[in-house]
Amino acid sequence: MSVDEVVCLPRLSRVAVCGGTHGNELSGVYLVRELLKVKKGVMEKEEEQEEEEPLSVLKVLSNPRAMQQCRRYVDTDLNRCFTHATLNGLTSGTVPYEMIRSRELNAMLGPKGRSGAVDLVCDLHNTTANMGLCLIAYSDCDWICLHIFRHLQASANFSNKESYSLDSVGKHGFAMEIGPQPHGVVRSNVYTAMKAGVQHMLDWVCFFNSGTLFEGESVDVFTMIKHIDYPRDSETRNITAAVHPHLQDRDFCPLHPEDPLFQTFSGETLRYKGNEPLYPFFINECAYYEKGIALSLARKRRVVIPTIRVQTEQEQAAHVQELASEEEE
């Protein structure tokens, strides 16, 4: 697709800002709580022209039970409960709390894949890894999200990768991941960065809804290739090494073949044996020890995003009629 091609997209009338999907990632928890204190949160935007429809911002605390216990989850990871099979499948016996909650959230923000879903979901997360402000997208062809990413780039360094999670419930969605911050802790600088990121996102939505034309260009994204586990004892499955000091805290810096990867507890250096330079992220993430992930590796590539603008009323009406016809089939 050419950067000069103009793509007309529907207005973004409803935006959801979700915190506490993981109950011990506290920046999003406290930010959403702050927004819920007043009828119109400090970040809720209304168009300047009276005849234009105001932007509706839903503030959602995604996993209340995990938040109360300051735990990542109660029974299972909520962010792994938003596949169509989980949301629509039959249940029997004891159902994990997060599975029940995912269906509640799907009813509130979705249904996933249907015309009644919210227009944009921004799901707020923290990481113990040194990833700065990282924006995780459901797709690398979501022009709305990629233009939001480019807008945020003016105020902070960020990276983009693909994901299947709560943000996939809306018509468009992404996760805002900020670190490093220990789980169960809130750091003022990380909270402030997240608050600014959400504000810039809402500003962009208002610009888009008012008719601003956003020029197309190429942007760099990171596509996840694979996960790497810690070295382990073949019998006990205990880990036998930690992330090497030369790699620690170097998220999104290139990792070349033969670069130090792990340091065993006896002091030996284990090197990266890949065939090409890749980009590590979520390095030594605390929450991923249980998943057997020491770090993930991504390939950096360039994506062409087209020029976009909001649809006119006539184009919007035609789009709504097309969606209704598709859902009747």
pLDDT value at residue 156: 57
pLDDT value at residue 115: 86
pLDDT value at residue 175: 95
Is 125 annotated as contributing to ligand binding? Answer: yes
Sign of the dihedral defined by the CA atoms of residues 83, 88, 93, 97, in that order: positive
pLDDT value at residue 41: 41
List the chain pLDDT tens, one digit each, 329 residues.
Answer: 566 689 999 999 999 999 999 999 999 999 999 999 865 544 444 444 444 567 899 999 999 999 999 999 999 999 999 988 888 877 767 889 999 999 999 999 988 888 889 999 999 999 999 999 999 987 888 999 999 998 988 765 555 554 445 556 789 999 999 999 999 999 999 999 999 999 999 999 999 999 999 999 888 889 999 999 999 999 999 999 999 999 999 999 999 999 999 999 999 999 999 999 999 999 999 999 999 999 999 999 999 999 999 998 777 777 666 766 666 65
Phi, psi torsion values for 250, nearest 5 degrees: -110, 45
pLDDT value at residue 161: 52
Is 172 annotated as contributing to ligand binding? Answer: no
Collect all residues with Cβ–Cβ distance below 8 Å to 147 and sequence separation of at least 6.
204, 208, 214, 305, 308
pTM of the shown model? 0.89
HEC letters along 106-123: HHHHCCCCCCCCCCEEEE
CA gyration radius, the chain: 21
- The beta-strand segments (E) located in 127-281 are 132-137, 158-162, 172-179, 217-228, 241-243, 260-264, 269-271, 279-281
Question: What's at 268, amino acid-wise?
Answer: E
pLDDT value at residue 186: 97
DSSP string, 20-51: -SSTT-HHHHHHHHHHHTSSS-TT----SSTT
Collect all residues with Cβ–Cβ distance below 8 Å to 247 and sequence separation of at least 6.
255, 259, 260, 261, 280, 283, 295
- Tokens 């983009």 belong to 160
Catalytic residue IDs: 177
In the chain the first and final C-alpha atoms are separated, in Å, by: 29
Is 244 annotated as contributing to ligand binding? Answer: no
